[in-house]
Structure formats: C-alpha cells, structure tokens
Structure 1
Amino acid sequence: MHYLLTYHYTDDYLERRGAYRDQHLRLGWEAHERGQLLLGGTVGAPAHSAVLVFVCDSAQTVEDFVQADPYFQHGLVRSHTIQPWSTVLGATASTPVYPAKPA
C-alpha cells in the first residue's frame, strides 16, 4: 500500500532546518534503503511543505518515521497528514487497473 505523508512547515523552517538537515536526510535515506520511502521533497519556492511517498503495510510505519524525524521533534513541522494512496497507474502501482480491451 502507498501512503502520502504531507508536512506543513513553520514560517521559519528555512532559517532553522540547517541544524537538523543531515539527521533528517539520514532518516529518509535509511527508510529508502529499507524499501519504505520511495520519494520525498519540498513543495513550493520557497519551500512551505513537503510530500513523502511511502510503500508499506501500515500507516504506523509512516507515523513512526514522523516521530523519529528531527524536523518534527524540533518543531519545524507545524502539522502533518498521513493518507493512504490508492495507486492504479504505473509499474509500481499497488492495485493496477487497466482499461477494458476493445471488443
């Protein structure tokens, strides 16, 4: 199952992230190496939020990532949401749906 994690950052996120960025990136790459995190990155210019795409069996895996993330622990994340994402198109879709074949 795919999950979307959305972070909404504080207004001073860009000024404060430097102290925690290496730890945050390390956590993300470790999740990627375990096959849990497919993609992640900021949204906006300047960045005001982030979206991370997970593939795992439970939203708890994503919540565990949030709780371990220094950005969350140090208050750079104003709020976050975790939503199941029903993927139907693409090589890695969790529930692929194909068009009907013409008669």
Structure 2
Amino acid sequence: MPYFALFYDVVDDYLTRRAQFRDEHLGLARAAHARGELVLAGAFSDPADRALLVFRAPDRSVAEEFARKDPYVIHGLVARWEVRPWTVVIGNEPDAGPARGAS
C-alpha cells in the first residue's frame, strides 16, 4: 500500500493559538492512527513552522480528507497544506528490523 506525506505550513502564532483546538486535532489523528491510516505525525521545531503527517492508504484522498476535517486547518492555524506521494525505499517491510550485525 502506498504512502502519502501531508505537509502543513503553519501560521506564525500557531503555538499560541493551537491550545483550544489541540484535543480535537489529536482525537482526529488518533482515530486515523487506530484505523491504520496515519503512520507518523508531528510538528517541526526550531522553528515551529511546519508539520508532517505520514499516511499509508490506498490513495491520497485519505490524507486530503484528514486535512479538510482538521480543526487546525478549519480554524486557520494551517496557512497551506499539501499531499505528496512518498516512495519508501527503506523500512517499508512491516516486520523488518535492523540488519543483523549492524551496530
């Protein structure tokens, strides 16, 4: 199944404005993770200007629908968002661990 990266460009005062929407945003993210759609998610820091959410889904519409429902997007904390297909080369095997003998 393919991967899709959802990039958020957040507004300058994102950190101060997010508190009132954070629980709803995290609930949406946790539900997507429980369904197996959202693999990883988090914000960049220093500067706190972007976020990255990685989806594994049949098509990009899953990530796009997430963004459209996200309270951060709805309430203007996200200035711009973009979904891009992501070709995973290493780590795509669900049960693959570190190579034997690696240090």
Post-superposition offset of 1:91: 4.3
For 1:14 and 1:44, the matched residues in 2 are separated by 10
Partner of 2:41: 40
Q: Which has the larger radius of gyration?
A: 1
Letter in 2 for 1:34: R
- Provide the residue aligned with 2:8 in structure 1: 7
Query: What CA distance in whole angstroms lies between the structure 1 residues aligned with 2:52 and 2:19?
Result: 19
Aligned residue type for 2:15:
L
Query: For 2:73 and 2:89, how far apart are their aligned partners in 1?
Result: 31
Gaps of 5+ in 1: 94-103
- Other-structure match for 2:100: none
2:73 maps to which residue? Answer: 72
Q: C-alpha displacement at 1:45, in angstroms?
A: 2.2
* RMSD (CA atoms): 1.2
What is the deviation of 1:21? 0.2
CA separation in 2, counterparts of 1:92 and 1:45? 32
Q: How does 1:1-103 map to 2 (within 5 A)?
A: 1-92=2-93
Percent of paired sites with the same residue = 42
Take 2:37 and 2:83, find their aligned partners in 1: how far apart are those partners?
Answer: 14
Aligned-partner SS, 1:40: strand
With the length of structure 1 as denominator, give the TM-score of the two structures.
0.86
Q: State the distance in 2 between where 1:43 and 1:92 align.
A: 26
Residue 26 of structure 1 and its aligned partner are, at CA, apart by: 0.4
Instruction: Report SS of the residue matched to 1:67.
Output: helix
Gaps of 5+ in 2: 95-103
Once the two structures are TM-superposed, the CA of residue 89 in structure 1 deviates from its matched residue by: 1.1
Which portions of structure 1, spanning 4 or more consecutive aligned residues, are displaced by more than 4 angstroms? none
Name the CA distance, whole Å, in 1 between partners of 2:78 and 2:14. 8
